[in-house]
Amino acid sequence: MIDYLSPTLSGETRTAKARFTIPNEGGRLKPQMFASVEIVVDLGKKLAVPADAVIETGTRAIVYVDRGDGYFEPREVALGARAEGFREVLKGLKAGDQVAASAAFLVDSEAQIKGVKPLEKK
């Protein structure tokens, strides 16, 4: 269990100090030892898309929704957390929407050539 997590990062190493309470059978762990740890956090159920499906322009984020028959609709989305190659979608999509998960930049390039404008966030 994490007992304490420093609110600041070291400027040189970009690391933070943490204090854990862990079992130490056999006394193998000693004070001041370094370790690499992986913290697993249950994020619950969220609407998410592959990170590669998102085109971030700096002012907004766009995904392309499959409308069928080879047609895609650009949709502006509000994004949340990043985790394991996915982006949480807070607004702009609903469960079941199919998005272009790869080569989204090619779909975007063609849409820009044709002058297609994304729909506003709902």
Residues whose CB falls within 8 Å of the CB of residue 94, separated by 6 or more in sequence, listed in order: 47
Separate counts of helices (H) and strands (E) for the chain: 1, 7
Q: Of 7 and 104, which is predicted with more confidence?
A: 7
CATH of 48-114, one of 3.40.1360.10, 2.40.40.20, 1.10.10.410, 2.40.420.20: 2.40.420.20
**pLDDT tens-place string over residues 19-35:** 888 888 898 888 888 87
**pLDDT tens-place string over residues 44-85:** 889 999 998 998 888 899 998 988 887 888 899 999 998 889
**pLDDT tens-place string over residues 93-102:** 999 999 988 6
Find the range with the poorest average confidence among 43-47, 82-86, 87-91, 102-106.
102-106
SS3 state at 8: coil
